[in-house]
Amino acid sequence: MPNVRFTASSSFLRALAAGAILFAAGALHAQALPPGVRLGMTADELQAALPAAERVHRPQRLAGGLLGSWRAAPVEMAGLVFEPTFFFAASELRRVEYVATAQAVPDNGASAFGQIVQWGRGVFGDELASRDPGSAYAAWTNGDTDVYVQQVSDPRRASVRLVYKARQLRDGSEL
């Protein structure tokens, strides 16, 4: 009988480990850029990689000429639903933002922020972090890409934002 218990518990542990690996792989995929999407691509290339992506009726404008002109289907990660927006400048994809509102969750997105930071550490290494009353921030650099996650915990506008953006190096004379 002890062998049966050992076999049963061994099978259970293997199934549990396989489930954890699949869960981790799913979480990792959700937080990475969508398959086929890369910074620097054109809008036509984005549409070929994400056929369901749609043009935004009222694009969001950011500094540096960035225009959030494309949106894809929402994705679930770390227990929140994130809406991805694709920002272009000079006809190239320069920024991808995943934004989730977190007013409905009791911790204002702190748990999701923590999970994404853990994912970032596993993928990119140690982060550069800051924490202020009402917000938290963690950032990584990966080649020519900056990645950051930000949590705003103000109950009226609680949110979590994951951003991939093209790294912009500046000459010291430009500062």
Tell me how many domains the chain contains.
1
Question: How does pLDDT run across 85-107, given as a tens digit for each residue?
Answer: 999 999 999 999 999 999 999 99
Name the one residue in this structure whose structure tokens are 């809008």. 43
Is position 7 within any domain? Answer: no
Q: Which of 33-37, 144-148, 167-171 has the lowest mean pLDDT?
A: 167-171
Q: Average pLDDT of the chain?
A: 83
% of the chain beyond a pLDDT of 70: 78
d(CA 34, CA 118): 19
- The reply to whether 9 falls in a domain is no
End-to-end CA distance of the chain: 74
Residue 20 lies in a domain: no
pLDDT in tens, 42-52: 999 999 999 99
Bigger pLDDT: 11 or 31?
Answer: 31
CA 24 to chain centre: 14
Is residue 21 a part of any domain in this protein? Answer: no
Average pLDDT, integer, range 32-48: 94
Task: Tell me if 10 is assigned to some domain.
Answer: no
Q: Is the residue at 88 inside a domain?
A: yes
Looking at residues 25-47, what average pLDDT do you find? Answer: 79
The structure tokens listed for 6 are 């050992």
Beta bridge partners of 154: none
Q: What is the mean pLDDT of residues 137-156?
A: 94
Mean pLDDT of 4-14: 38
Neighbours of 8 (CB within 10 A): 10
Let me know if residue 14 belongs to a domain. Answer: no
pLDDT given at position 155: 81
Confidence of residue 172 (pLDDT cuts 50, 70, 90): low
More confident position, 19 or 151: 151
Residue 3 lies in a domain: no
Range of the domain at 118: 32-174
Element (H, E) at 112: helix 110-124
The predicted-structure confidence for 103-119, as pLDDT tens digits, reads as follows 999 999 999 999 999 99
pLDDT for residue 145 is more than 90: yes
pLDDT at 79: 93
Predicted pLDDT of residue 93: 98
Is the pLDDT higher at 6 or at 155? Answer: 155
Q: What pLDDT is recorded for position 5?
A: 39
